[in-house]
Amino acid sequence: NKTLNTQARAKWKKVAYGGMQPGYADNYTDESFLEDMVMNANVVKRDLLKVMLDSVSITQYLCVVVLVVCVWTYTLSARIDGRTLHLVNAVLLGMGFLVLVLTETKLSISLLLHYLLNIAYFISGLYVLAPLYCTLTRSISSDSIWALTVFLLVIHLFLHDYAGSTIRPPGALKNPTLTSNISLNASIVASVLIASRLPSRHH
């Protein structure tokens, strides 16, 4: 009788809305219930080294922003002397220029003059506009300046193009996007706001 009952019992089927199947309990689960289940079908395998290299650009940029904020804070609190700051800037600028010259494949006199002119324009522009920065936000309270600066720096960090140095192949053209332009403008405005609170034009 047991053999006949087993043969007569219909094969179990996976039915969503079919109700109870004859010969099977309501909570019966067959061994073939999970045979078609696919786990992690859309998982993308990533290279650990590439992921680490991609994260370096984000970490490096965050460190640069934190370093700039620390220099601003120490300068405003008179913990860093203006001459010391000028000396450190000159040394770092010289080291960076030396690295650029040594790593440039197509080095020429015209290229060196181009770099030197850009540095001269940048320094002279800052020196000429320094008195304007000191009086730009004189009527605004320092708390408002700091709050607005923090807000702009957060926008700058969120909208910055971190993929520019890791995803694009070497030599590819870099087309600025809307978010990257907003990020750059936010950082410039934040720098101008902080510069307006510096004690003198030499800072």
Q: What is the residue-level pLDDT of the chain in tens, covering all 203 positions? A: 444 455 456 676 777 666 666 777 777 777 777 777 788 778 888 888 888 887 888 888 888 889 888 888 888 887 878 788 888 888 988 888 788 777 776 767 787 788 788 888 887 887 777 777 777 777 788 788 888 888 999 998 888 887 765 555 555 556 677 888 888 889 888 888 887 877 666 66
Both tokens of 174, joined, read 């870099």
Written as six digits, the tokens of 7 are 């043969």
How far apart CA 95 and CA 101 sit, in angstroms, is 10
Report yes or no on whether pTM surpasses 0.85.
no
The pLDDT score that the predictor gives to residue 4 is 45
How far apart are alpha carbons 21 and 9 in whole angstroms?
A: 10
Residues 6 or more apart from 71 whose CB is under 8 A from it?
A: 80, 85
85, 75 Cβ separation under 8 angstroms:
yes
The residues spanned by each domain of the chain are 54-195
pLDDT for the residue numbered 203: 63
The pLDDT of residue 82: 76
Q: State the pLDDT at residue 164.
A: 61
Give residue 81's pLDDT: 80
